[in-house]
Structure 1
Amino acid sequence: MEEVDIVSWNSLISGCCKSGHEDLTLKQFDQMRLAGYSPDEFTLSNLIAVCTNLRNLDKQISALCVKMGFISNSIVSTTVIDLSSKCNALEDSVRLFEEVELRDSLVCDSMVSSYARHGFQEDAY
């Protein structure tokens, strides 16, 4: 490509993620950062999906979501809640859920699923 932008980086990262190449996805993210591009909510959603697939609770990615202000995006907050839950950190899921100001159905469904996954069906509602 003659010109690369965040959209082209996101397309590459998303393609790697959806093809099941988690390690390559993470390498492309590193390359994107080295090239001077900042991630957006789409980039971070893909990275969180990779971490969820790997069952790797990467607190640096979660912290980056908060630092960059993307945690208020329901797609990002939903994926972080799901990641924490699937990595057996239900308390992190609960803490994030409590911090989310605008709770839409995606965020609420993710928290209900998290409680149910850990056997707390009565807390899910």
Structure 2
Amino acid sequence: MNRLHLAAQTPLRRSARHMLLGAGLLVAGTLALLDQHRVFDLPLLQTFWPLVLVMLGVARLVGHEGSPIAGLAMVLIGSLMTARNLGYAGFAMHEWWPAFVILGGVSMLWRSQPPKPGA
């Protein structure tokens, strides 16, 4: 079953998933903004916010939406950032930004491939 068929088959599920994701991002962004402006202190949000990337990556992989490379990259980046926030990994994101550009290029190339016959 190809992606086009799946997208046409479940428009309500897709819409509901996008609404849930949008509402979650709205809540997370509001909490982060309030925390940033010192309205209250959320140490858990500061530590675990990269898990949002992990969840988005897993959702991409499970939902077969877009490139699997993008989903894997999101899981990897979110996991590494969480490990760094917990003190398990010592790396600076500003040193690795070119790798993310490379992953973006690979993802775009993956998506530009013509569909396989019979898929």
What TM-score does the superposition give when structure 2 sets the normalisation length?
Answer: 0.32
What TM-score does the superposition give when structure 1 sets the normalisation length?
Answer: 0.30
Q: Which has the higher contact order (CA 8 A, sep 6+)?
A: 2
Greater C-alpha radius of gyration: 2
